[in-house]
Amino acid sequence: VVAIGSEGSAPGLARALKADIETRLPKTTGRLAGTIASLRARLSGIMPEFADRQKLWAGIFTPGQGLGERLKYSDTELEQAFEQALDGQASEKIGKVSLVGAGPGSLDLLTIGAQRRLHSADVIVYDRLVSQEVLDMGRREAKYIYVGKAPGAHTTRQEEINRIIVEEAKAGHTVVRLKGGDPLVFGRADEEIEALEAAGIAHEIVPGITSAAAAAASIGASLTSRGHNKSVALLTGHDTKGFAEQDWAGLARPNARAAVYMGLGASRFIQGRLMLHGASAEFPVTIVENASRENEKIIGTTLGNLVQDIEKYEVLGPAILLLGYSPKEASNIEFQPLRAGNE
């Protein structure tokens, strides 16, 4: 059916246009529409995104490319063109994966790059330490896949995560792999990158603010101070073998400074190892739990009191242990827990 309207202003013109267009349409157009209807039903089963389907049909009936000719398709020709377009789109539409740092939790500390990726994601694969605030920045229509579990509980295996991001990208999706803090700091990003490379999937890394940086900012301490420490170590409390061994002699030196990730469970071990290597019980340690978040907790303590203070103040994590740092008095620091500690 061709309908042309002129809102009553020029019915004669409308009739002429209608007649003209009708003569240009091949007699088979109606039948073709019926074939399209059945192909559409098939397509919606295999191509869930409306925009992708629209693109496919636009490819088959692109205006300006002899539409009249195209409408002379026989049913089999149309089906052939459809299969070709489908193959073409499948091979062209291999998605990509962005490994994105979500920062320590506060929206303030999310990069604009991360925000952009979240806004255009089809799939968002996220960890336990990604805050709700950050997740809420994600595209509403995106599929959210949670791949984290509480520590100690059975975690989604790394191979399973690798499989998910590869499969989602292969399905043509734009995947955001969202990791707490910076993806390259204790984030197992290398294992995911390796899997993506092996599968030939395009990927990129969008850095984030690592929790040690946020923790240092929260206590107003410079991670490196001129004349005090020439380096700062980023340590993990755990590695594949259990509690992680470190260069304890180096870390026990009076001016040594380090930020320990995943250190709560290993705190007794760390305390023991450092003191064994001559660190003083008075060595300052600051615990920053939930850095940058509303429920952030700062506890200034010492190596000697570390383990009991973690218990006393019910530090459940996530937390960074800042070895060799004391919280500095600053107007923007909440000293509540510290005051309690000094009672």
Annotated catalytic residues are 127, 149
Q: At its nearest, how many Å lie between ligand SAH and the CB of residue 76?
A: 55
- The residues that bridge with 287 in the sheet, in sequence order, are 299, 321
Q: In what order do the strands lie in the sheet with 123-126?
A: 143-146, 123-126, 175-179, 97-101, 203-206
Q: Which tokens sit at 124?
A: 């968002």
- Per CB under 6 A, the list member of 185, 206, 270, 274 interacting with ligand SAH is 185
Our finding on whether 179 is near ligand SAH (CB under 6 A) is yes
DSSP symbol at 107: G
Our finding on whether 186 is near ligand SAH (CB under 6 A) is yes
Q: At its nearest, how many Å lie between ligand SAH and the CB of residue 175?
A: 18
Q: Give the integer Cα–Cα distance in Å for 182 and 161.
A: 18
Decide if 333 contacts 299 (C-beta within 8 A).
no
CB-closest chain residue to ligand SAH? 181
Our finding on whether 180 is near ligand SAH (CB under 6 A) is yes
Restricted to residues 13-72, the positions that interact with ligand SAH (CB under 6 A) are none
> Which one, 32 or 110, has the nearer CB to ligand SAH?
110
Decide if 255 contacts 324 (C-beta within 8 A).
yes
Q: Which helix (H) or strand (E) holds 299?
A: strand 297-302
- Per CB under 6 A, the list member of 82, 126, 261, 283 interacting with ligand SAH is 261
Our finding on whether 181 is near ligand SAH (CB under 6 A) is yes
Restricted to residues 290-319, the positions that interact with ligand SAH (CB under 6 A) are 290-293, 317-319
Secondary structure class of 26 (helix, strand, coil): coil
Q: Give the integer Cα–Cα distance in Å for 298 and 285.
A: 11
Our finding on whether 201 is near ligand SAH (CB under 6 A) is no
- Please provide residue 200's backbone torsions phi and psi, each rounded to the nearest 5 degrees: 65, 35
> Which one, 185 or 196, has the nearer CB to ligand SAH?
185
- Per CB under 6 A, the list member of 121, 262, 274, 310 interacting with ligand SAH is 262
Q: According to DSSP H, which parts of the chain are helical?
A: 11-24, 29-46, 50-60, 67-70, 75-92, 112-119, 132-135, 158-170, 189-198, 211-219, 248-251, 267-276, 306-312, 336-341
Omega of the bond leading into 183 within 30 degrees of 0 (cis): no
Our finding on whether 320 is near ligand SAH (CB under 6 A) is yes
**Binding segment (CB under 6 A) for ligand SAH, from list 18-26, 166-174, 208-216, 240-248:** 208-216
Interface with ligand SAH: number of residues (CB under 6 A): 24
Q: At its nearest, how many Å lie between ligand SAH and the CB of residue 206?
A: 13
Our finding on whether 126 is near ligand SAH (CB under 6 A) is no
Tell me the Cα Rg of the chain.
30
Q: At its nearest, how many Å lie between ligand SAH and the CB of residue 114?
A: 13
Q: At its nearest, how many Å lie between ligand SAH and the CB of residue 115?
A: 18
Residue ranges in contact with ligand SAH by CB under 6 A: 104-105, 129, 179-182, 185-187, 210-211, 215, 261-262, 288, 290-293, 317-320
